[in-house]
Amino acid sequence: MRPTHIEDYLVNVRKGQWFGWSDSKNKIYANLIVHDGGSKPTEQQCTDGLKALQDAWDAANG
């Protein structure tokens, strides 16, 4: 399935349940919360990371 959301990028940043959403019905960057005390990716990193996943998927699936 083609990645469509920054969550698709975030699951690859660290393993486990390291992040969540302050409003799970509105998964936007502003609502991103970190559970594990680690660093929070920037919004740009999320945007770029999602695009890289999409580009890779498109290249692999035509």
59 lines the binding site for other proteins (CB under 8 A): no
Q: Are 14 and 32 in contact (CB under 8 A)?
A: no
Here's the x/- map for other proteins, 3-42, by CB under 8 A: it reads as ----xx--xx-xxxxxxxx--xx-x-------x-------
**Residue 62 binds other proteins, judged by CB under 8 A:** no
Place of tokens 């509105």: 26
Phi and psi (nearest 5°) for 6? -65, -20
* H or E stretch at 21: strand 19-21
State the residues that interact with other proteins by CB under 8 A.
Answer: 1, 7-8, 11-12, 14-21, 24-25, 27, 35
